[in-house]
Amino acid sequence: MAAAMLNDRDVEFMLYELFNTDSLCQRERYQDHDRQTFNDVLKTAKRIAEKEFLPIRQKLDKHQPTFDGKTISLIPELKPALEVLRGSGLTSATADYEYDGMQLPPIVASIASAYLWIAGGNSIGYSLLTNANANLLQAHGNKELIEKWVKPLRSGCYSGTMAMSEPGCGSSLGDLITRATRDENGNYRITGSKIFISGGDHNLSENIVHLVLARIAGAPIGVKGISLFVVPKYLVDDNGVIGEENEVALAGLFHKMGGSSQTSTALSFGEKNGSIGYLVGEENRGLQYMFHMMNEARIMVGSGAAALALAGFQYSLDYAKNRSQGRLPSSKDPLSPMVNIIEHADVRRMLLAQKAYAEGSLALVLYGTQLSDDSHTAATEDERSYAHLLLDFLTPVIKTWPSEYGPEANDLAIQVLGGHGYINEHPVELFYRDNRLNSIHEGTTAIQSLDLLARKVPMNNLAGYLATLAEIKKTMAIANEFEQLHGYANELNDAVETLKQTTNALLTAMKTQNIDLVLANSVKYLELFGHVVIAWLWLKQGIVAIRGLLDQPHSEDEAFYRGKVQTLKYFYRFELPQIYAWSTLLVNLDSSSFDMEEHWF
């Protein structure tokens, strides 16, 4: 049997044992739901992934989109698969009923998306981006914009993009130069170039709705002078009939190392008279609108990274159980049968590391997803704002840890398969290539680390930071009720103390020392914080597993729970202790990188 995409038992564990998803059905928004609707949705997602996308996964990767100077071609199998996906209602599952959604809790939708990411890779991105685009317009557009654009976006007739980066500015959006000038009809004319626009052109929909960041003539410099516009590929009249082209020209396609099924485009706006754009919300508030969805978008990046890590883990696990090669060091008989490679301890180490990274990441992104949901749907205002506080603080970690350690897991999956992992007969190299983007887009690791250390930690008198530590403390108290977990709770306590000392040292240094030097090792601070958070989430999983074991489970559940406890052990032995070395670098304001001069390289 082929390798599973996800371990279904782990999905059940995460949803119903670790995060108690059943209890969400008591909230008004989810009152029509029960565990059966959740499982039915997951079944539909899994089947669509298996039947529609898995069979074309390799073809999508091998046959990158092509551009002949006029039109873009994608493999013909993609459009029908995306239509099945849209027809299933999965792409708008979390939306309100009135927008054809099903008010599915995001934590359940996150697992559904994981199946689709694994099988469909970035091709799912066309649908997700369109949905994100519609959400943004819904939240910030006026009635007219919503009427005209959101409906066809929701129905799938149109697709959507986010056009932010330019040739001269990616991470530094304040420097963008795309211009908007008001014309005599009160519309705006947009001129400029955008790059890395995912789904910027293709033949999958009737029209493409670009959400474009541009600067209105005379606007303030920097991020405070950026406005957001709807710029369609084709203009549409008041009756919804598609008309002329709107001077959105495809300047070229980028050829990516992974995720190649989703086009990445260079677009040129308004080369003649300017593309017509419709202002979203108020002038100069575009970046705020765009970042309104940023927490969700960043959780989504982390979730994609986690899904690919899980997929590689499952694939290499299956391979290791079936591939026989070599004998144990203790075996002296060359005629004795070869063992399956999972019997080699080092292969088990690589599988354990993947399990620790991948399931740790999954727990983290589901936690973040639930916080995001809680910040909207929890029972009381206090609970909602507390969830928002935690989410806002932890977003850099939720985005980054899976994006850094997911590819690390995929790297180990390749290693488990050896030479067979390096060739495209097996998908592990594809997972790695696809996953490699995640530490780059939606804010690179370095940007996330600056966001965490320089902004999120000090914000509101350390409110988010302290709330996170309080949550960790709660788990340690519960863990201390179980003899089997005492040791881990103590180790986590030590790690948290080190985190606190490191943070205090850096906060003091930020006030007294050269800020550039203090922030020079910020990535290590983020990694340290991430490791403490993942160690915490493994302890949480350990508590559930120990309780499960005390409940006299049947043999398969017993094995599953033991696997959780063993991975907890692995993380605390092999991973967590690294934070002490990182802490030393940080506390000492190590200047190895900072002092290195350009001409010394």
Binding site for another protein (CB under 8 A): 8, 32, 36-37, 40-41, 43-44, 47-48, 84, 87-90, 93, 100, 102, 104, 335, 337, 553-557
Is residue 572 within 8 Å of 485, Cβ to Cβ?
no
What is the spatial distance between Cα 93 and Cα 509, in angstroms, rounded to a whole number?
Answer: 47
What is the spatial distance between Cα 492 and Cα 385, in angstroms, rounded to a whole number?
Answer: 27
The values of phi and psi at residue 39, to 5°, are: -70, -35
Is 231 or 549 the residue whose CB approaches another protein more closely?
549
Is 36 or 185 the residue whose CB approaches another protein more closely?
36
Residues forming a β-bridge with 161: 210
Tokens standing for residue 560: 């599953």
The values of phi and psi at residue 282, to 5°, are: -100, 160
**Residue type for 346, please?**
D
Is 104 or 212 the residue whose CB approaches another protein more closely?
104
What is the spatial distance between Cα 188 and Cα 172, in angstroms, rounded to a whole number?
Answer: 24
DSSP 170: S
What is the spatial distance between Cα 147 and Cα 518, in angstroms, rounded to a whole number?
Answer: 50
Number of Cβ within 10 Å of residue 484's Cβ equals: 15
Is 4 or 223 the residue whose CB approaches another protein more closely?
4
Block residue for tokens 């298996």 = 50
User: For strand 242-245 and strand 264-269, is the pairing parallel, antiparallel, or unpaired?
Assistant: unpaired
Helix (H, G, I), strand (E, B) or coil at 171: coil
The least CB distance from residue 38 to another protein, in Å, is 10
Is 48 or 394 the residue whose CB approaches another protein more closely?
48
Closest CA to 105 of 28, 44, 48, 45: 28
The least CB distance from residue 49 to another protein, in Å, is 11
The least CB distance from residue 524 to another protein, in Å, is 43
The least CB distance from residue 39 to another protein, in Å, is 9
Q: What is the dihedral of CA 227, 139, 363, 45, to 10 degrees?
A: -110
The least CB distance from residue 322 to another protein, in Å, is 14
The least CB distance from residue 81 to another protein, in Å, is 12
The least CB distance from residue 111 to another protein, in Å, is 14
Cα–Cα separations (whole angstroms), residue 315 to 50, 417, 527: 15, 9, 27
Closest CA to 95 of 131, 46, 125: 131
What is the spatial distance between Cα 39 and Cα 22, in angstroms, rounded to a whole number?
Answer: 11
The least CB distance from residue 334 to another protein, in Å, is 11
Is 83 or 237 the residue whose CB approaches another protein more closely?
83
Is 109 or 453 the residue whose CB approaches another protein more closely?
109
The least CB distance from residue 59 to another protein, in Å, is 21
The least CB distance from residue 342 to another protein, in Å, is 16
Is 44 or 484 the residue whose CB approaches another protein more closely?
44
The least CB distance from residue 41 to another protein, in Å, is 6
Tokens standing for residue 558: 């017993």
Is 89 or 458 the residue whose CB approaches another protein more closely?
89
Closest CA to 538 of 558, 517, 515, 568: 568
Is 8 or 245 the residue whose CB approaches another protein more closely?
8
Closest CA to 280 of 323, 343, 228, 352: 228
Residues forming a β-bridge with 253: 265
Is 106 or 443 the residue whose CB approaches another protein more closely?
106
